[in-house]
Amino acid sequence: MPKLSVVVPAAGRGTRMQSEQAKQYLPLLGKPVLVHTLQRIAREPVVEGIVLVVAPDEIEWCRREIVDRYRLEKIEAVVAGGEHRQDSVLAGVLELAAERKLVAVHDGARPLLPAGVLDKLVAALQEWSAVITAVPVTDTIKQVTSELRVAATLDRQLLWNVQTPQAFRREVLVQAHQQARRENFRGTDDAALVERLGVPVQVVMGSYDNIKITNPPDLRRMELLLRAEEPEPLTEIAMRTGFGYDVHTLVEGRALILGGVAIPWERGLLGHSDADVLVHAVMDALLGAVGQGDIGQHFPDSDPRFAGISSLDLLRQVGAVLTEQRKKIINIDCLVVAQRPRLAPYRQQMQQNLAAALEIPETRVNVKATTTEGLGFAGREEGIAAYAISLVAAN
């Protein structure tokens, strides 16, 4: 199946939310609304790249606090939006490389992107130049005059609520936007601009849960919808623990990476990947909790794909295993055993890295460090070991 690029306009202020903070940055279950949206897009295999469009004065903040903090690696650019949504969408589309032929547009304030809907759009683009997601209207719709009198009752069998994502062949979308700009026309969605070219727009079924957060009640409803996706209430039987242990030798000429943090030190750990002994212990603990073997089974050191790879990337794959099994991480407790260097200054960043990779609150991760008072291989500074234990909720 061809790949798709996604432009996410998120430069608006959302005044109807009655909040000083833009609605796309409001907290939703511990993360900004926009992060939920971007993570949903990024997890779809059909997506090859994302362009995020934000207010000009928010670009650096978004790169640091959204893209980097949550490790959104599919985001290829963060660019400045314009005065109107149309300006922002066009800026995002023009930022894409010329060889990108298929592009979707998805609102930054629609965090419940249905799984697989982008696949349906790409499939439809093999026949059509413009495809939108929508759902049939369920209420009776009346046309009302400016004096608030009913002028007509519309046939709801012909009416659909239009959503995003909307997908297009790139040249058609650019042409539609450029013509609208020349003629000073503003539509309420991108498909409206394409319709003005006389290009047919195909509809695929969306989801009634794919709401756009516009008013305060929308945010509360979205919280309920997201919570409904979590596992059922925990019971004693639903709890499973996992234990992980790993050790690597200290050698010259290698960087010392622990918990995804590059620690300035005279030696590093030897291994096929970046030899992050802490992350390896965490992965083993999580895999053990869900009965999925160990890291050697999933990421063998004989496989060249994993040579020099960041262990945090491997941890994200382990997190995906838990997500597929609808398992929820309750907490992770870790212990690093090293005579030197002193690790206390790096503990918080390690915790943040582990939590971000697993998409869980930082409060669920604890990292400790200890020495062996000079005893054993760790005390002789021959290597570093790590232990981890995890508690996971299973349905």
pLDDT the model gives residue 232: 54
Answer yes or no: is pLDDT of 168 > 70: yes
In this structure, are 126 and 243 located in the same domain?
Answer: no
Answer yes or no: is pLDDT of 18 > 90: no
In this structure, are 108 and 42 located in the same domain?
Answer: yes
For residue 359, the enclosing domain spans 239-393
**Per-residue tokens: 285:** 């603990």
Highest-pLDDT range among 189-198, 215-224, 286-295: 189-198
Placement of tokens 């413009």 in the chain = 130
Task: Report yes or no on 234 lying in a domain.
Answer: no
pLDDT the model gives residue 101: 96
In this structure, are 243 and 221 located in the same domain?
Answer: no
In this structure, are 261 and 191 located in the same domain?
Answer: no
Answer yes or no: is pLDDT of 369 > 80: yes
Confidence of residue 235 (pLDDT cuts 50, 70, 90): low
pLDDT the model gives residue 34: 96
pLDDT the model gives residue 21: 79
Cβ–Cβ contacts within 10 Å for residue 294, how many? 15
Confidence of residue 155 (pLDDT cuts 50, 70, 90): very high
Per-residue pLDDT averaged across 64-85, rounded? 93
In this structure, are 244 and 224 located in the same domain?
Answer: no
Residue ranges of E strands in the chain: 4-9, 27-28, 31-32, 47-54, 75-80, 102-105, 130-136, 142-144, 150-153, 160-169, 202-205, 239-251, 256-258, 261-263, 268-269, 328-337, 365-370, 383-393
Per-residue pLDDT averaged across 127-153, rounded? 95
Answer yes or no: is pLDDT of 255 > 70: yes
Confidence of residue 98 (pLDDT cuts 50, 70, 90): confident
Answer yes or no: is pLDDT of 395 > 80: no
DSSP 174-203: HHHHHHHHHTT---SSHHHHHHTTT---EE
In this structure, are 73 and 116 located in the same domain?
Answer: yes
Domain C-terminal end among 228, 253, 274: 228
Direct distance between the N- and C-terminal alpha carbons of the chain, in angstroms, rounded to an integer: 34
Q: Strand 47-54 relative to strand 75-80: parallel, antiparallel, unpaired?
A: parallel
Residues 372-384 have pLDDT tens digits of: 999 999 999 999 9
In this structure, are 160 and 260 located in the same domain?
Answer: no
Provide the Cα torsion 313, 315, 321, 325; round to 10°: -140
Query: CA-CA distance, 88 to 103, in Å (whole number)?
Result: 14
* Count of structural domains within the chain: 2
Answer yes or no: is pLDDT of 289 > 60: yes
Task: Report yes or no on 233 lying in a domain.
Answer: no
Per-residue pLDDT averaged across 10-28, rounded? 76
Domain C-terminal end among 228, 254, 273: 228
pTM for the structure as a whole: 0.61
In this structure, are 215 and 312 located in the same domain?
Answer: no
In this structure, are 19 and 157 located in the same domain?
Answer: yes
The dihedral through the CA atoms of 30, 209, 124, 93 has a sign that is negative
Instruction: List the CATH number of the domain containing 377.
Output: 3.30.1330.50
Phi first, then psi: give them for residue 46, nearest 5 degrees: -70, -15
Answer yes or no: is pLDDT of 87 > 90: yes
Confidence of residue 318 (pLDDT cuts 50, 70, 90): very high
Domain C-terminal end among 182, 205, 228: 228
Answer yes or no: is pLDDT of 387 > 60: yes
Q: Strand 150-153 relative to strand 142-144: parallel, antiparallel, unpaired?
A: antiparallel
Residues 138-149 have pLDDT tens digits of: 999 999 999 999
Answer yes or no: is pLDDT of 208 > 80: yes
Q: Is 111 exposed, middle or buried (0-12, 13-18, 19+ CB in 10 A)?
A: buried
Answer yes or no: is pLDDT of 12 > 90: no
Instruction: List the CATH number of the domain containing 9.
Output: 3.90.550.10
Contact 276, 354 (CB under 8 A): no
DSSP 30-73: TEEHHHHHHHHHHT-TTEEEEEEEE-GGGHHHHIIIIIITTT-T
Query: CA-CA distance, 321 to 258, in Å (whole number)?
Result: 23
Answer yes or no: is pLDDT of 89 > 90: yes
pLDDT the model gives residue 150: 95
In this structure, are 263 and 348 located in the same domain?
Answer: yes
Confidence of residue 170 (pLDDT cuts 50, 70, 90): very high
Contacting residues for 51 by C-beta, under 8 A, at least 6 apart = 5, 6, 7, 8, 75, 76, 77, 78, 79, 92, 93, 95, 96
In this structure, are 258 and 218 located in the same domain?
Answer: no
Query: CA-CA distance, 78 to 54, in Å (whole number)?
Result: 7
Share of the chain above pLDDT 90, in %: 80
pLDDT the model gives residue 228: 82
Per-residue pLDDT averaged across 334-355, rounded? 94
Contact 3, 9 (CB under 8 A): no
pLDDT the model gives residue 270: 94
pLDDT the model gives residue 325: 82
Cα 44-284-332 angle, rounded to 5 deg: 85
In this structure, are 222 and 321 located in the same domain?
Answer: no
